């Protein structure tokens, strides 16, 4: 576990916000195959696996508009149809996530999901992995106007949790998550199983980088007295 220099005074926190894809649940292969399926229809043979990795993190709208603003909505529809049809056959939960989130809930932490996915797909992933019982607040793309790294989704989650930024932590696998947390004034943490790589996350100076999800339980800000 890496500890990064923080500008936030160390204190106990009572709220933990998680990104979903690539952080709690392993949707990496589903996302990659969804992008490849979609792009093959519009740009045959032009995209390979490594080419779509940078698309993981930003919203679909942002990604597809960067390719073709006029056809972005059409491509989003193709992507989502494939993604939904293949969701339950591909998505899994990362090691240690269920047990860690359950323990956080038992310790009385306020928990939220902050994601760029739409809420219906979020519900599918949480139900499939049995995480749905633990999260009292979900902020999805259809709940906000601006996506991460804008602080809006994080601030909305905090408002719903009735939590203060300085008493919260945002955890994710992408630099968008870290920046969103910093922009909202929370502590931040990255996860080393990010496809972007541990070093990439370190460049954005999160307060922590966890090699395993269980490490979250042992840091002083969440450790039981």
pLDDT in tens, 17-30: 999 999 999 999 99
Tokens of residue 185, six digits: 């004034």
Could you list the residue range(s) of the whole structural domain that residue 72 is in? 28-90
Q: How far apart are CA 222 and CA 10, in angstroms?
A: 11
Do 55 and 77 sit in the same domain of this protein?
yes
- Decide if 2 is inside a domain: no
Taken as a whole, the chain contains a residue count of 225
Specify the pLDDT at position 122: 95
Do 155 and 54 sit in the same domain of this protein?
no
User: Strand 15-18 relative to strand 168-172: parallel, antiparallel, unpaired?
Assistant: parallel
- Decide if 181 is inside a domain: yes
Residues marked as catalytic: 19
Which of 90, 114, 143 delimits the end of a domain?
90
Q: How far apart are CA 204 and CA 6, in angstroms?
A: 11
pLDDT 10s digits, 84-142:
999 999 999 999 999 999 999 999 999 999 999 999 999 999 999 999 999 989 999 99
Do 59 and 75 sit in the same domain of this protein?
yes
Tokens of residue 193, six digits: 């199983």
Q: Which residues are within 8 A (CB) of 197 and not within 5 positions of it... i.e. 6 or more apart?
A: none
Banded pLDDT at 12 (limits 50, 70, 90): confident
Predicted TM-score of the model (pTM): 0.87
**Angle between helices 152-161 and 175-184 in degrees, nearest 10:** 60
What phi and psi values does residue 145 have, to the nearest 5 degrees? Answer: -95, -35
Please answer whether residues 189 and 207 qualify as being in contact, where contact means their C-beta atoms are separated by less than 8 angstroms: yes
Do 132 and 39 sit in the same domain of this protein?
no
Q: How many folded domains does the chain comprise?
A: 2
Do 201 and 141 sit in the same domain of this protein?
yes
Which of 50, 73, 90 delimits the end of a domain?
90
The secondary structure of the chain, three-state, reads: CEECCCCCCCCCCCEEEECCECCCEECHHHHHHHHHHHHHHHCCCCCCHHHHHHHCCCCHHHHHHHHCCCCHHHHHHHHHHHHHHHHHHHCEECCCHHHHHHHHHHCCCEEEEECCCCHHHHHHHHHHCCCCCCCCEEECHHHCCCCCCCCHHHHHHHHHHCCCHHHEEEEECCHHHHHHHHHHCCEEEEECCCCCCHHHHHCCCCCEEECCHHHHHHCCCCCCC
Do 72 and 153 sit in the same domain of this protein?
no
- Decide if 224 is inside a domain: no
pLDDT 10s digits, 51-80:
999 898 788 999 999 999 999 999 999 999
Specify the pLDDT at position 7: 45
CATH code, domain with 16: 3.40.50.1000
């Amino acid at each position: 576990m890496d500890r990064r220099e923080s500008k936030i005074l160390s204190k106990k926190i009572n709220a933990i916000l998680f990104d979903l894809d690539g952080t709690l649940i392993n949707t990496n292969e589903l996302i990659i195959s969804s992008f490849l399926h979609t792009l093959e229809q519009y740009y045959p043979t032009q995209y390979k696996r490594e080419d779509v990795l940078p698309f993981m993190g930003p919203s679909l709208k942002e990604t597809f508009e960067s390719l073709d603003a006029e056809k972005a909505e059409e491509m989003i529809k193709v992507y989502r149809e494939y993604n939904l049809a293949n969701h339950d056959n591909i998505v899994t939960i990362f090691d240690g996530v269920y047990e860690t989130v359950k323990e956080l809930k038992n310790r009385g932490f306020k928990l939220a999901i902050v994601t760029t996915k739409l809420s219906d797909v979020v519900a599918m992933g949480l139900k499939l992995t049995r995480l749905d019982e633990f999260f009292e607040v979900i902020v999805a793309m259809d709940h906000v106007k601006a996506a991460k790294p804008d602080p809006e989704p994080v601030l909305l989650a905090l408002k719903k949790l009735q939590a203060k930024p300085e008493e919260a932590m945002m955890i994710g696998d992408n630099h968008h998550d870290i920046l969103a947390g910093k922009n909202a004034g929370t502590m931040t943490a990255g996860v080393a199983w990010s496809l972007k790589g541990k070093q990439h996350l370190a460049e954005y100076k999160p307060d922590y980088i966890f090699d395993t999800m269980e490490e979250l339980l042992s840091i002083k800000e969440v450790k039981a007295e």
